[in-house]
Structure 1
C-alpha cells in the first residue's frame, strides 16, 4: 500500500467561500470530490443521461460532419466512409483510457489534475501547467470552430435563398460569428438552472436532424451511387499521395468526436459522477461512431460523383450543395436551417464545458487573473459566470483569424484537435510511465486491458497531433493554403512552458486543496477516512490517498510540492 501526503498551501490560498455541501450535492458525490481535495462549490444538477447529452450535443454529429467535409471528400467515398469508421474506432479506444481515469478521479480539472497526480516529482508541475493551458485553449478553439461553422451555415442559407447571387465577405462571416458567441455567453449565463434538462432537448434535435437526413436524401436523390462507389471508390483531389489523403480524412471524425472530455469537465455538476462520467464518454463516442457511419454511407450514396462541383459549391458549404442536388431550393433551406440550429446548440454546450475547465484552472491559481475568475455566482445558479465570459472574450479574439483568410480560419478547427489531443495524451502517458502504482480504479475499469488501451491511445493521439498540422491541400503550401495550427499551438505550448520556467514555477505548485472540515457532514468525513483521506482543517490539512501498490508491501510517503 502506498500513501501520498499532500501538504496544504496556506490558509489564504485554500479558503474559498461556498454554500454548504448539502445544498449542492449528495453525501456520496461531495465525499468523492473531497477525496481529491476539493469542496463542493457547483450544484450537481446533471443526471447521467444529461452528462451524455452535453458531450453528444457538443459533437453535433451531422453539423460537425457537414463542417468538416472539406477534409474527407478529397479522399473520395473511401475516405468519407472508411476514414470515419477507422478513426472513430480509435477514438473509442482513447475514450476507454479517459473513462478509466474519469471514473477513478472525477473533477472538473481532471486532465491536468491527473497529470499532476501521476507524473514524477520532477515533471508534474510543468506538465500539469502545460495540460491545463492546452486543454483550455483546445476547448475555446472548439467553441471558435463550432461558431465559425455556424456562421458559414447561416450565411449559406442566405446564399441559397438568393440563388447564389450573393457572396459573404470575411467581415460578414466574423460579424455573424461574433453575434453567435455573444448569444452563447448570454444563454450560458441566464439558463444555467435548466442547462442539464436542455441537453436532452439538444440530443432529441440532433436525432431529428440525423433521421430526417437519412430518410430525405435517398428519397430525393434520383441517381444514387452503387455499393462499389460508396465503399471502394478512391479519389484524391489533393497533391498529397493517395494514402496520406485518406489519413487526412480522419480529421473529420477526430474533430467531430473530440468533445468527450466535456463529461470530465462537468463531473463536479454530475450526480453519481464516478459512473456518469465514463457512461457519458463512451456513450457519446459510441453513438457518434455508429450513427456517423450510417450518415456518411448515406452521403456517399447521394453525393454528386463530380466531387469537385460539391467542394466548389457557390453556396459555400458542400453539405448545402448535397442537399440542393437532392431536395431542391426549398428542401435545402429547410434542412440547412435545422442544421444551423443544431450547430448553434453545439456552441452553447461547449461554452459551458470550456468555462468549467477554465474555472477549475483558475481555482488552482494557474490562469492569469485567477482571483478575478475564481468566484462562483450564486445568483446565476452556482456557475462560474466570469469564466463563461472570459471564454467568450477569448473566442472573439481568436475568431479574428477569419478576417485574414479561409486558411487561417481553418486553423480554428485543427486548433481544437491538437490542443485537446495533447491534453488527453499527457495524463494517460503520466499514468502508465510514472504512476501506475498510484492508480486506484473507480466503478468503471477496463481491467487487464487498461494498460494496452492506454498505450494504443498514446500512439493514436501523437499521430493525431501531427495530422492536424498538415496542410490539407498538399505539400509546399502558399500563405493562403498554409495550416496555421502549428504556429498557434506551438506558441501556446512553448509560451506556457516558458511562462512556467520564468515565473510560474515560483508559485504554481499544482492543484490546491480547498476542502475544510466545516464543509463536511459526519457521513462525508467517515467516507473520506474509509478511503484513506485525513482532513485536519485549513491550518494544516494532510491528504493521505491510499492507492494500490505493486508488490513489496512496504509503505512510502511522497510529498508533493
Structure 2
C-alpha cells in the first residue's frame, strides 16, 4: 500500500494532520488529515518517511536532552563576555528583552514542529513553506546553516569545557603554570572521544541518561546559586538594586545603547540549542504534541533560569571591570565572590554541567547529520545515513561530527579572535536557520494555506513569527561587530568571515551542481516526493483515511 491509495479509504477524524499525496497528474499536494488520535508512524509516513528510530523518548525525555543542550550554568558562564558589556543593567534588562523575542521564535518553531514532525526539522519546513520554485534553495540554505551551527556549537561547548577546567586548575593549584593552546586541544580531544561513545548508545539508554542528566543539571544550577548567595551574604553583602538596575558600565568603545544591543548576544548564544526537541521528534512518541511542548518548556524554563543566574551575578559581583578583564570571566568572578574551596566546588559543578551540555549537543547534531545525509545533502551521504543495527542510532553521523569538531579546534591556535568567532558563528548560523522557515510562514504563507498540527498559535501565528524574524534580522549584524570601535587585526570580530566563507562555498556548490540534482528533502516512502504546502478547499480538508492503516505495509 502507498499513500496515494490511502485517499480512497475512510474513517471519522477531528484533528488536523498533514500528509503528502499525489494526483493523477503527478502533482504533489500537502494535505491535513483530521483524526482523533496521534499515531507517530502514520504522521511520519504522510511526510514521506518510514520509521527508522525507536520512539523511546517521552516529553520529559525530549525536554531532558534539550535542557541539557542549553546547559544553563556553563552557557551563562561562557557568554559573560557578551552579557557584561554594558554593565549589570545590560545583563538584566538585556536578558529580559531578548527573552521575549526568543519566546516568539520558540512558539513559531513549535508550531512548525507540530505541523511537520520530522527530524529534518527546519530544513524540511523551509522546503514545504517556500514559494513555488524556491523550495530547494530555501531547504539548502536552512539545512547547511543549521548544520554549521551545530558543528560550531559543539566545538564551542567542548572548548568551553576544556578551557574552564584548565584555567581553574591553573588558578587554584598554587603554581604559576603557563597555559598554551595545545593543552586545551588535547584535553578537548579526550572529551570528544568520551562524548562520542555516549552519543552512540541506544536511544533508550540515552533517554535514561538524560533524565538523570537533567536532575544533575538542575542540582548544579541550584547548588551554584546557593553557594554564591550564602558566601556573598557572609563575606561582602549584595550590591544595591539602584546600582544593579541603573548603573551602566560600558565595557566597549561603542555608545551605551549599542553596547546594550551587544549584550543581547550572550542570551542568543545560550539559546542556540532551542531546536533540539525538533530534531529528536522521530525518537519521541506523541511527537506532534510532546516535541512542540519540549521546545516551549526549553525556551521558558531556560530563559527564566538563565535570567535568575545573571541576576545573582549582577547582585554579587565585587569589581565589575576586574571580572570583565580576567582571563576567564567566570573564574575571575568566582574568585571575587567565593573563598578558594567554594570557588573550586562551583567550577566543578560548571564543568560537570558543561560536559552534559556537550553530550546533548552531540546527540542532536548527529541526528541532524543523519537526516541531511538521508536526503543526500552531505558528502558520503550513504555511509553517514546508516543507522547502526545494534544501537539503532546514527553512529556514523556521530563520528563525522566529532571529526569536524577536531578540525575546527585547529583554528583555535590562531588566537582568541578565532575562538570568539566560532562562538558567534554558532549563534548566527543557528538563528538564520530558525528564521528562514519561520519568516516564510509569517510573510509568504497565508493562514488558509498553512496546515496546522495539534500545537498551533491560531490567528496570532504570523504576527508572532514576524516579531521573531525581525528581531533576528536586527541582531545578526550586531553579532558581527567587535567590542572595540577601532580594533586591531587580531581584535576584529571574524564571525562574519567564519559564516560567510563556508556558506559562500556552499551556495557556489548549489549554483554549479546541486541545483541540478537537489530538490529538497527526499521521501523514502514508495512513489512520494516532499511537496510544497498548497491551498485546499474545505471539502479537501475533510479528507478521510482508513482507521486500520498498518505501517507494516511499508
Shift of 1:301: 0.9
Does 1:255 pair with 2:266? Answer: no
The 5 A counterparts of 1:57-76 are 57-76=68-87
Contact residue 3 and residue 546 of structure 1 kept, 8 A: no
Residue of structure 2 equivalent to 1:435? 445
CA contact (8 A) 1:159 1:165 kept: yes
Q: 2:487 aligned to 474, 477, 484, which one? A: 477
1:217 pairs with one of 213, 228, 232: 228
What residue is the counterpart of 2:212 in the other structure?
201
The partner residue of 2:407 within 397, 404, 414 is 397
Which among 494, 500, 510 is matched to residue 500 of structure 1? 510
CA contact (8 A) 1:3 1:547 kept: no
Secondary structure of 2:488's aligned partner: coil
Q: Return the match for 2:335 from 324, 344, 353.
A: 324
Structure 1 unaligned spans of 5+: 8-25, 516-537, 556-561
Asked if 1:349 is matched to 2:360, the reply is yes
SS of residue in 1 equivalent to 2:456 = coil
In structure 2, the partner of 1:299 is 313
For residues 147 and 63 of structure 2, the distance between their equivalents in structure 1, rounded to whole angstroms, comes to 21
The 1:335/1:543 distance shift into structure 2, 3 A limit, reads: closer
- 1:6–1:544: 8 Å Cα contact kept in structure 2? no
CA contact (8 A) 1:93 1:457 kept: yes
- Residue of structure 1 in register with 2:325 after alignment: 312
- The alpha-carbon deviation at position 213 of structure 1 amounts to 2.1
Inter-partner Cα distance in structure 1 for 2:530 and 2:228: 58
**Residue 497 of structure 2: aligned partner:** 487
Q: Which moved more, 1:186-195 or 1:488-497?
A: 186-195
Instruction: Answer yes or no: is the 8 Å Cα contact 1:103–1:442 preserved in 2.
Output: yes
Separation in 1 of the partners of 2:531 and 2:19?
6
1:284 to 298, 302, 326: 298
How far the C-alpha of 1:434 sits from its partner, in A, is: 3.2
Partner residue in 1 for 2:546:
none
Matched position secondary structure for 2:39: helix
How far apart are the structure 1 equivalents of 2:230 and 2:504?
52
RMSD: 2.4
CA distance in 1, matches of 2:75, 2:479: 16
CA distance in 2, matches of 1:142, 1:160: 26
Q: Alpha-carbon deviation of 1:192?
A: 4.3
How far is the alpha carbon of 1:90 from its aligned partner? 1.1
Give the TM-score, by structure 1 length. Answer: 0.87
Taking the aligned partners of 2:501 and 2:368, their CA distance within structure 1 comes to 20
Distance apart, 1:547 and its partner CA: 6.3
Gaps of 5+ in 2: 1-15, 24-36, 543-554
Residues 272-321 of structure 1: CA deviation (Å, up to 9, x unaligned): 110111111110110022112221111111101x32211233xx322222
In the alignment, structure 1 residue 514 sits paired with structure 2 residue 528 = no
SS of 1:190's equivalent in the other structure is coil
Aligned length: 510
> Cα distance, 1:187 vs. partner?
1.7
> d(CA) in 2 for partners of 1:198 and 1:125?
37
**Contact residue 425 and residue 461 of structure 1 kept, 8 A:** yes
Higher deviation after alignment, 167-176 or 410-419: 167-176
Match of 2:287 in 1: 273
Q: Distance in 2 between matches of 1:543 and 1:405?
A: 44
TM-score computed with the length of structure 2 as normaliser: 0.88
